[in-house]
Amino acid sequence: MKVHYDPETDTLTMRLSEHPVMESDKASPGVILDYNEHGNAVGNEILKAFQSCATLQFSKPPIAILKKVKYSTLRE
């Protein structure tokens, strides 16, 4: 999994695989899911991420979640 935050657009992108995105659907306000040619989820995007993530509630402490995630960078 790769995670990328773009501060210019305030968008958080999470790629679950390297398969090309063939279709995208709005899952909920500000959340877009990306699918490959077989209809499998390959990523998602969170719009207005900084604002949205400030109100997230976690079932586990965030550090426990981050330890399980391989990410490219959260700063750029």
Q: Which two tokens stand for residue 48?
A: 């207005």
Domain-located, residue 36: yes
Report CA 39 to chain centroid distance, whole Å: 17
* DSSP alpha helix (H) spans, the chain: 49-53, 62-67
Domain-located, residue 76: no
Give the pTM: 0.64
Domain count along the chain: 1
Domain-located, residue 42: yes
Q: Looking at residue 56, what is its pLDDT?
A: 58
Q: Looking at residue 57, what is its pLDDT?
A: 58
Q: Looking at residue 58, what is its pLDDT?
A: 52
Q: Which two tokens stand for residue 75?
A: 């700063």
Is 40 in a helix, a strand, or coil? coil
**Of 56, 54, 31, nearest to 44 (Cα)?**
31
Q: Looking at residue 24, what is its pLDDT?
A: 93
Domain-located, residue 74: no
pLDDT tens, per residue, the chain with 76 residues = 888 888 899 888 999 888 999 999 998 888 899 999 998 889 999 898 877 666 655 555 544 444 444 443 343 3
Domain-located, residue 49: yes
- Give me the residues paired with residue 44 across strands: 14, 33
Domain-located, residue 73: no
* Domain assignment of residue 18, given as a range: 2-67
